[in-house]
Amino acid sequence: MSHQPLHAMTLCEILRDLGGTTPTRAPVKYAEIGVEQGRTLSLILRNLPSVHAWAVDTWESYDMSDAQHQGESYGIVPKSTQQENYRLALEALDPWTKVGGRCRVYRMPSVLAADALSRAGEKMHCVFIDADHREAAVYADIKAGWPLVAPGGILCGHDFGSWYGVERAVGWFMDEEPAANKLDVLPGYVWAIKRPSVKAIEPPSVV
Ligand SMILES: C[S@@+](CC[C@H](N)C(=O)[O-])C[C@H]1O[C@@H](n2cnc3c(N)ncnc32)[C@H](O)[C@@H]1O
């Protein structure tokens, strides 16, 4: 795995650790918000058989003009590139997307998908945010993703420290959400916040 991007290796480690906390053979539920060509997700599914994945992406043209990557602006990602990315993602994820497979593809906007999954009562062990990198969009993804994370699970994302908007959005969320009390920045520009586990209710003491 050493030739793979560092953020993908970091995610594998997070998911492996989370697997240790679920009962034997229980699936580790993982949502990737922003899939592009499915490179990270296919690596995870190939290496971690306990992972069941929800793959969310519009694969539509989107505007990166105001997003800043180490001081540089990016332009619009065109529809033609996105059509090709969609084709490549379906090809990469094909071994796991058949009926009864471990990966479901949601071609829709991130916030709508997260809300729909939350309303359906889904809870994920890990939600990874890597979609539109403009600060308002990252913040919206964090707000929509947090309720989807099970107690003891991890909300995380890519490009902390390399994309200005990501740091700002994560900072806003940390300031306002009391349960988000510790931010970790991991190798490969991955940020991670653990959702506190529900505390066991203490039995009344016998007098
Ligand atoms: C940086 S790429 C994802 C890379 C992928 N996570 C990986 O590691 O290989 C960003 C992706 O986010 C998607 N995206 C942008 N805005 C989105 C939105 N509002 N909802 C869903 N996906 C979006 C784009 O289509 C693009 O494919």
pLDDT given at position 75:
84
The answer to whether the beta carbons of residues 30 and 54 sit under 8 Å apart is yes
Give ligand 1 pocket residues (Cβ under 6 A).
32, 34-36, 39-40, 56-59, 62, 82, 85, 109-110, 130-132
Q: What is the pLDDT of residues 8-64, one digit of tens each?
A: 889 999 999 998 766 666 899 999 999 999 999 999 999 999 999 999 999 999 988
Ligand 1 centre to CA of 29 (Å) is 19
Can you list the residues of the chain whose pLDDT is less than 70?
Answer: 1-3, 21-25, 68, 70-73, 199-204, 206-207
CA distances from 59 to 13, 27, 44, 66, 148 (A): 27, 27, 20, 19, 22
SS3 content of the chain, % helix, strand, coil (to 5): 40, 25, 40
Ligand 1 centre to CA of 84 (Å) is 13
pTM of whole model > 0.85?
yes
Domains assigned to the chain: 6-194 (3.40.50.150)
The rounded distance, in Å, linking the Cα atoms of 14 and 16 is 6
